Structure 1
Amino acid sequence: MLRDTSRDAQLVEGLKKGDISSFDELFNLYSKKIFVFVINYLKSEADSEEIVQTVFVKIWENRQQLKAELSFKAFIFKIAHNEILKFFRKKACHQSFINDQLLDSEMSFDDEKRIEYKSVLLEVNKLINLLPEKRRIIFIKSRIDGMTSTEIAEQMSIAKSTVDNNLTEALKFLKSKASNLSFGVLLFLYLFY
């Protein structure tokens, strides 16, 4: 262990002077160890390799500040650890951004559904207004107000069979007119009327 530390100190001194062979030897000594350390956290070979490269780029760029008397091994693992933390922070920010985008798209999708619903409702109301007055009143009382045929008959002072016949004719009329309209209007009529 002492020999490794003294060899590291010699290599760090060479690296500080810009000696590429010292850098290469440090890379050969530590790159696999750093990779194993990083992949235990990231579980991704590509991301781990990228972090190993980043660690050694930082070592090269900051070679003038290296201190030969300090443990190079501890120093390089500290850089790797910081890069892992940075990776997860970036990933968390990215995930947060994606979640925000999904939330925004869900909101706009809800807005689109609301607009489509209003549009379908408007089309259905136009069709209902085409019904003869008595039939329209019976239809509204039944399908919109939720009254039974008996309640409508009593309120309008007409026979229950008249109410039922008017409802049947109203539905036939609406479905025949809706066949020329969008699928949304047809679906609305079939589901709710």
Structure 2
Amino acid sequence: MNLKNEGHLLGAVASGDEGAFRQLFDAYHNKLALFIYRLTKDRLLTDELVQDVFVKIWNRKEHLLKITNFDSYLFAMAKNLALNALRDLARRSEKHRLWEVEYDEADLSEQQKEFFSLVNEAIDHLPTQQREVYLLSKYEKYKHEQIAQKMDLSQQTVKKYVQRATQHILAHLRNKFDVFFTLIISVLISFL
């Protein structure tokens, strides 16, 4: 997509002009979302990745003056982020599957099977990035600082994602069990 005065617009963004950044966002958002969706086939992940691309552009705005072909730069960045996200999701999915195999279902009571099934169901319904943060924190035992660095997020965002994910899981479980059992679940979930 060629914008009139793209060089001037990039210069304005590089100097911190939020209005120019908004113009850039509006000009590329839909085309970028379509491109990423074709790679991921996941609307939520697409939305998150489009945001990530523009956050990276804003955070690295001073480098925009060095870019000779913004279109190529933008779509290369989007492709790399999408492929990295898909690879990370595949790894987490495989680790999660291995974790389930490790805890052989034959050794679990029906209530335990139901509990873990509901926890997994709740985790599957989390937004993609929140789910990824939660799994890194609770299943892979990463520290918030490590997750923040790995996913290019602030530690505060990581902390909020873990809190929101935990609240979502508890709410999901509350809908399925009575109050007494929910108290026990809230204690158990803190160990997951």
* TM-score, with length taken from structure 1: 0.52
Aligned residue type for 1:47: L
Task: Detail structure 1 runs of 4+ shifted over 6 Å in the superposition.
Answer: none
Residue in 2 that maps onto 1:98: 96
Contact 2:14 2:64 in 1 (8 A): yes
The answer to whether 1:62 aligns with 2:64 is no
- Pairwise mapping of residues 25-174 of structure 1 onto structure 2 (< 5 A)? 25-67=23-65, 70-106=68-104, 109-110=105-106
Deviation of 1:45 after TM superposition, in Å, equals 1.4
Contact 1:9 1:72 in 2 (8 A): no
Contact 1:12 1:68 in 2 (8 A): no
Contact 1:35 1:52 in 2 (8 A): yes
Q: Secondary structure at the match of 1:96?
A: helix
Larger radius of gyration: 1
Contact 2:32 2:78 in 1 (8 A): yes
C-alpha distance after superposition, 1:78-107 (max 9, x if no partner) = 11001101111210111121121122012x
Q: Distance in 2 between matches of 1:96 and 1:69?
A: 38
Q: Secondary structure at the match of 2:103?
A: helix
Aligned residue type for 2:93: Q
Aligned residue type for 1:23: F
Aligned residue type for 2:69: S
Deviation of 1:69 after TM superposition, in Å, equals 5.1
Aligned residue type for 1:21: G
Deviation of 1:72 after TM superposition, in Å, equals 0.8
Q: Distance in 2 between matches of 1:26 and 1:75?
A: 13
CA RMSD of aligned residues (A): 2.1
Overall identity of the aligned pairs, in %? 27
Contact 1:15 1:22 in 2 (8 A): yes
Deviation of 1:68 after TM superposition, in Å, equals 5.1
* TM-score, with length taken from structure 2: 0.52
**Matched pairs, number:** 109
Contact 1:9 1:69 in 2 (8 A): no
Cα distance change on mapping 1:69 and 1:47 into 2, 3 Å: closer
Deviation of 1:112 after TM superposition, in Å, equals 7.0
Cα distance change on mapping 1:110 and 1:65 into 2, 3 Å: same
Aligned residue type for 1:95: S
Structure 1 unaligned residues grouped into runs of 5+: 114-193
C-alpha distance after superposition, 1:30-75 (max 9, x if no partner) = 0101000011111121111111000000000000112355111111
Q: Distance in 2 between matches of 1:18 and 1:70?
A: 19
Q: Distance in 2 between matches of 1:69 and 1:6?
A: 16
